Chains A and B, each alone.
Chain A
Amino acid sequence: MKTDEELVRLCQQRDAHSWQTLVDRHQDRILNLAFQFSGNRESARDLAQDIFVRLYESLGLYDPARPFQTWFNSLARNLCIDHYRKSRKDKAVVDPPVDEFGDLASDDEPTDRRLERREGKDLLLRALEQLGAISRDAIVQKDLQGLTHEEMASMEGVPVGTMKSRVSRARADLARILLKLEGRGVRHGVS
């Protein structure tokens, strides 16, 4: 099995087969990353395609001394953040994202459990939509993609401590928004 770096080297020599292997290997991860940023399956699909097109166009810029995964993650993340900022700016009113195919995903699950899951998921998507781009990025990279603080800090070129604070703040923001959406807002200083 060829490594990503070997595949990229072959892609740089216009090897179509290696390019397909590279796409095949990373497409699920990138599609889920795009979904975690967009909260919508159709947008996620378009965004993920844009990411691969950009990757294809940027293969010539890849520095073999750097791990491909880190480089690609950084490229994908930047595009996701741009897309998120643009979509927030475009929306005068933030429509709560709804995962319209959610019910099709688990037919064997009891209805009440499925509804509960759907409610939880929709609530989370609505809450994520209200986060700023940096906070959403922190939640997606750390809690959903499972990157370490060190990896995130290296990707963005900031100290690890800064990244830790950013993640903590993002989680607190998200929890506060979720409480608000559930009608249990936090009012500090009053028991």
Chain B
Amino acid sequence: MECREFQHHLSDYLGGELGEPFFGQMVEHEVECTRCRATVLEADVLPSPLLDTKERRQVQEQIRVRTEGRDCHWIELRMAEALEESLDPSDREIVRVHIEDCASCQRMRDMLQALPDFYSQLPELSAGREFTREVLALTSGPVPGVIQILRALWRRPEAVWEVALAGGLVVAILFGNQVPEYSSMSAWVKDAAVAQMPMGNQVWKTEDGKQRFGFVTDGAAQVHTTWKKVEEKAGGVSDWMQRSGEDIRTGDYTGLLDEIRVVLEPLGLYPEDETQEAGEQGDER
């Protein structure tokens, strides 16, 4: 049976005026056709003034026009849209009428609404330093010449400060054990040490009598002041300084070595093996 025929006999069908086998065919079509089933439901709840056959047919015709072509696929797309935008009122009504009577679309609606929960279960990955190192290794170009270095410094003057700080850190890591005891240093040597080792890192003496480069919390105020001076002289903190400062603050020596490397390696000043070794010593503190 076609929808048109079903709609034509709907009022007789609802009024119980149809006989077999036609009544059976109407029942069969109602079970199979979501749209006509929705029409039956709509007609069944019409208020009493519309029970007049003519008016009922008009309403049924409006429903038919409104829902024509609105199959389950169309409903699914509207429901998917509705996840983030409110639907046009007429579309919303069609969807409401449809899913009231369509178990498949009800399941789809539930699943569509559950999608954000599924999404939230995907992990949030963090690339980490190792990834950066690998990318840099894959993309590193030839070591630049002196002219290129000078040009680079001209374009980014704060790089001078970065090189100076990175060099100071390397010297401190490599030769930390040979620096005289901190208390015996002259005032300018202490200032220089603090300037080279910002964010609380100073030379200190361990229980076994060796002097090490490490983190001391009680020097924080002094170091903060010095760091501010460095920032002012450098004309503002750069991304590199921020990352290095964070590495020093958190004691991430591997990360710090990476930062030092990125500044010194292009200049051919990065003593890779020795510095790695010294860095590992620093981590043991």
Contacts and interface: CB of A to CB of B under 8 A. Distances in A.
Interface of A: 1-2, 10, 13-21, 23-24, 27-28, 30-32, 35-36, 41, 44-45, 48-49, 52-53, 56, 99, 102, 105, 117-118, 120-121, 123-125, 143-144, 164-165, 167-169, 171-172, 174-176, 178-179, 184, 186-191
Chain B at the A interface: SS class? helix
Nearest to B37: A191
B23 interface: no
Contacts of B78: 168
A178 B118 contact: yes
B155 A124 contact: no
B71 interface: yes
A59 to B, nearest CB: 10
A124 B111 CA distance: 12
B159 interface: yes
B72 A189 contact: yes
A168 B116 CA distance: 14
A174 B108 CA distance: 10
B81 A27 contact: no
Contact of A35 (B76, B125, B139): B125
Interface of B: 31-34, 71-73, 76-81, 83, 101-105, 107-108, 111-112, 115-119, 121-127, 131-132, 134-136, 138-141, 144, 148, 151-152, 155-156, 159, 162, 239-240, 243, 262-263, 265-266
A189 B31 CA distance: 8
A36 B122 contact: yes
Contact of B139 (A56, A102, A165, A186): A56
Given A31-B127, A49-B134, A120 B80 contact: no
